[in-house]
Homo-oligomer: A and B are copies of this chain.
Amino acid sequence: MNQQQIRSLLTRVAAGETSVDEAILSLRSAPFEELGFAKIDHHRGLRQGVAEVVFGAGKTPAQIEAIVTAMRQEGESCILITRLSREAADALAPRLAGFTYHETGRIGIVGAIPAPDAHGKIVIATGGTSDLYVAEEAALTAEALGNEVVRLYDVGVSGLHRLLSHLDEIMSARVIVAIAGMEGALASVLGGLADCPVIAVPTSVGYGASFGGVAALLSMLNSCASGVSVVNIDNGFGAGYQASLINHLTENKA
């Protein structure tokens, strides 16, 4: 029940067309989101009208197809499907017009990636080449949400010269996504060099005492550089999403 509906209801009460008891009942049973207090289905959608997201893991191609079709009927022009396997993508390709699949990032996109509409650039940096699957999930998410993305891959801290040769890109970023497995030191070094927010993503790359990304996660949480926050292991989508939120902040909010 949105404000127009509440207004309508109250108007009917004022006009004597609806009894007080009926109005109480309506108010009580109204879905909360329609009261204007909260976002509609925010936690899985994206509100800027740029793109909509479907979490693909654990859904059948048929389920995904149905969801995407419904979204399109509501006018979505760009729909992101994350954690989409090659097999599911192959099944979806012939059934969804405008579908493309990005295997490294395990992301399917239905429709066209929009032109960037934010104010700055998002730098996405990785420690090694094996972190690319997470980096591409972050990069494609950010691009689908209307951001310009600069990819700095394989700039791990054990070869500082590679990282330092990209200082210009790093210093000009509006927000940085630092992605690394193993010891995860990239976030600290970038946090020390840059003066913008750094979102760190530990990856499950590694073996032995990397414990599926825990070593990198702990390293990033303990970063001695200020301005660094962390998302879940391998959560490229979450980092790209938050980076986009930050990059789209305008000066006159609130």
Contact = CB atoms under 8 A, between A and B. Distances in A.
Contacts of A196: 245, 249, 253
A32 B164 contact: yes
A37 B164 contact: yes
A213 B221 CA distance: 13
A87 interface: no
Contact of A13 (B14, B182, B238): B14
Given A224-B156, A251-B250, A29 B168 contact: yes
Residue with the greatest number of chain B CB neighbours at <10 A, chosen from A30, A199, A214: A214
Interface string A183-208: 11101110111111101001011111
Contacts of A47: 195
A234 B208 contact: yes
A11 B3 CA distance: 19
Given A183-B184, A185-B219, 6 more contacts: A6-B27, A39-B195, A43-B156, A160-B193, A174-B253, A215-B222
